[in-house]
Structure 1
Amino acid sequence: MAILRRCWRDCFKWGSQVRDTCGKFARVLCGMLCLAAVLSHAEDKQQGANPDPWEGWNRRVYAFNETVDKYALKPVAKGYRKVTPGWLDDSVTRFFENLKDVRSALNNVLQWEWRNAGSNTGRVLVNTTLGIGGLFDVATRINIRKYPDDLGSTFAVWGMAEGPYMVLPFWGPSTVRDTLALWPEDYMRPRHYIEHDLARYSVTAVYVIDLRADLLDIEKNVVGDRYTFIRDFYLQSRRLQAGEEPPPDDFGADSFDDDWGGEEDW
């Protein structure tokens, strides 16, 4: 009986947390949509053909991020790559990709993409069970397709304008639309529901290091001015993901999409 009472109490506590979180998410989402509607109308009039009207400020933030990366993230990522066996590194990456599929499925629903939502949900169920928590990508082996999505692309489907390009401190490339999506989207990330602070910070640190290590080889594809290359690639990949028409003078980043397409935090 004591065990049953404890299970009931834990279930009730979890249910209350889910209810409170859903309420907070709904309020934040409504606020973001109202703000975005105003900003989108203004951006459509003011932005014109220039996607980066704040380039001067963005380049300063970009330089700051590059300094942080040079002296902190990149050395740690290189050390991680050196001491971590390839099979283990791949398993860690697959684990976090499985968590991203949860967010993708939720955004598929918000976009009324029921087939994609079913496919991503199936991936989570298969990889979490047969794939041992996502360490193995069984879903891909049995041809269950992955449909990456996030709240930024959901806002795009709902008609929100992209807005100017932005570079966020410690985060990197973004747009006004994607930046507005960051706060409410946090409620879609599994890390939000880890109550123990040390565990949450530790798992987040592993994710960041693993992601940076995966970029060590990919960044060799960058040519010319790094700021311009990253900006142009980011904007095109985001527009393609959102189903928007890419600008005619884009450099055709499709060939890099499989490697650079996913910036999403889990």
Structure 2
Amino acid sequence: MNIDLNSDLGESLGVWRMGDDAAMLSLVSSANVACGFHAGDPAGILRTLRQAKERGVAVGAHVSYRDLVGFGRRNMDVDSADLRADVIYQIGALKGLAAAAGTTVRYVKPHGALYNTIAHDERQARDVIAAIREIDPGLCLVALAGSPLLGWARGEGLRAVAEAFADRAYTPQGTLVSRREPGAVLHDADEVAARMLRLATDGTVTAIDGSTVRIEAESVCVHGDSPGAVEMARQVRARLEQAGVTIRSFVDSAA
């Protein structure tokens, strides 16, 4: 059994530090690197890319709405032309920095509100898909497991990778519990590791109401900005490897 372990990195901005990229890069197989629209500055992003290169970690563009103040977590109704250009701009910027770091951008994972919106909003979803196809149709798109976005992307010829979240609670319908709701974000590293082992081996997780939800995912995310993120990722990786699950980026099996 193989599964990818990813985290959102490169999100520090100037003197404001977010997460521990160096530590996370020793644990994950894929790094979703900020592109400057929700977080990250060029020097910090470049540093993260160089560290990812040193550790053999696959790199993806963590594109977002243009929302530094809200950390990309505010819903926005962006015009199609603007959204497409914004996504192209962010991927292009990260591609340039990645080239300087001696690595390449292999996939795209939208961030925050954009990620959640395009999971079900077909208009914005198709704008993001079109943007990816325009700049590099060989890029994979990481999307919420079970969402319509996976089918829309595959229908346009993109490789779409289904993703689950280690540190987020699920509804009985298989969607993420809103961050505005109590219990939406999980903090117990041992509990999270046990949940991800069940996901990797059985394909199910326990929803917030105690019911069982089936989640088919190729990749698991541990948010780099969560308190205790490094320990959580460490325990998830250790528990999976102890059970014989190989941690490997999904891009390693890309055609």
Q: What's the TM-score, normalizing by structure 2?
A: 0.29
More strand by share: 2
Q: What's the TM-score, normalizing by structure 1?
A: 0.28
Larger Cα Rg: Structure 1 or Structure 2? Answer: 1
More helix by share: 1
